[in-house]
Amino acid sequence: MQSSEIRKKFLEFFEARGHTVIAASSLVPEGDNTTLFTGSGMQPLLKYLLGEPHPVGRRLVNSQKSFRTEDIEEVGDNRHDTFFEMLGNWSLGEYFKEEQLSWIFEFLTSVVGLDPQRMYVTVFAGDKENNIPRDDESVAIWQRLFKEKGMDAKAVEFVTEERGAELGMQGGRIFYYQAKNWWSRAGQPAKMPAREPGGPDSEMFYEFSNIEHDLKFGRYCHPNCDCGRFVEIGNSVFMEYKKNEDGTFSKLSQRNVDFGGGLERIVAASNDNPNIFTIDVFAPLVARIRAGGGTSNPRSEQIVADHVRASVFLIGDGVAPSNKDRGYILRRLIRRAVTHGHYLIGLPMGFLSTLIDTVIMSYEDAYPDLKRDREMIREVFEKEQVAFERTYTNGIKEFEKVLAKGEMISGV
């Protein structure tokens, strides 16, 4: 299936269940100075998750443009990207675990057509220190849902990823973890500031059995292993707690559902390919990069594709290259793309800006503003690209000397 098809089916699926489709917010957060970029669908909805009434109702759905700076160094493997689309649905104090888990399982298996035999889920193992119980309710729901598909669903308690790597799958379908299955913007309960909302979550993973487990990640594979065999495709957060001034936790005035699913990963799973760079919105871009280069380097090809796509969306939302904050991140993306594109692939100077049209063509229906702002995006991108290429050319001999010595280049 293609991205546009799954995006459309997701919105229609939840619309049919009483949800209102809301527009995607800008990648530049409005009225939120706690973060540089919009990194999830819930971020623009925080005040409504805390209890303020939303103007269009209590059931919402959208596909949100998202950007996460922490994934820059991870790009180049089969599943990480900096810019991505987050499919999201929310209940602001209405339905809860039963409806959410049933609906998202139905969407993924019956609408998208994913094989339930290759799906595994994780749940919250509890936090005794903060008097937060483990999520046995979600386990019971998942066991029923898998049973309806003719499958047994044994629950295994790992608590930590290290324990999972030590024990292996143990014939499980459902796995208890602690740190990995608690969600808040600040991380674990101990790290949360006062008045911050959070809650247990249930993540869904899809297994690609053709990927061999890498022993550098532990003796055995498990859903939260980083070897790439299991890819997270969605996360239902049950946001019902807030942290008090004295460090304890109490219930929010309403129980919320906050689901986020990576569109690119779901599309890849639907095509039975673990590499997101093979899906429709990436494939033409990677093909042009490969055809334009003189050396085959899949990791660098994927880095260039990701960074050019992300740069187009950031510039489209008003970010300009600079030496600080958002502008620095954009500058870093373009410079890394030039470095990987020219030195490690052999793309000619000036080539990257020719990829802008390829990106926009993949998104012109979903994001028509990109087509409208095409020339502005090109101008900003080209100016930064040319400036760095000039600096890059002047310093290339020194760069080659360092590489010849086998030294590490930070940020490449």
Q: Output the six-digit token pair for 322.
A: 């600079």
pLDDT for 22 equals 97
Residue 275 half-sphere exposure toward CB, CA atoms < 13 A: 15
Q: Are 360 and 374 in contact (CB under 8 A)?
A: yes
pLDDT at 392: 76
Angle among Cα 141, 147, 152 to the nearest 5 degrees reads 105
For 271-329, the pLDDT digits (tens) are: 999 999 999 999 999 999 999 988 889 999 999 999 999 999 999 999 999 999 999 99
258 contacts: CB under 8 Å, gap ≥ 6: 41, 42, 45, 49, 88, 90, 183, 236, 237, 239
Residues with Cβ within 8 Å of residue 262, at least 6 apart in sequence: 84, 85, 86, 87, 232, 233, 234
Q: Which amino acid is at 207?
A: E
Provide the pLDDT for residue 185.
84
- The CA distance from 290 to 198, in Å, is 43
Tell me which residues of the chain have a pLDDT lower than 50: 409
Instruction: Give the pLDDT confidence of 392-409 residue by residue, as tens digits.
Output: 777 666 656 666 666 554
**What are phi and psi for residue 43, nearest 5 degrees?**
-55, -45
Q: Determine the pLDDT at residue 294.
A: 83
pLDDT at 258: 97
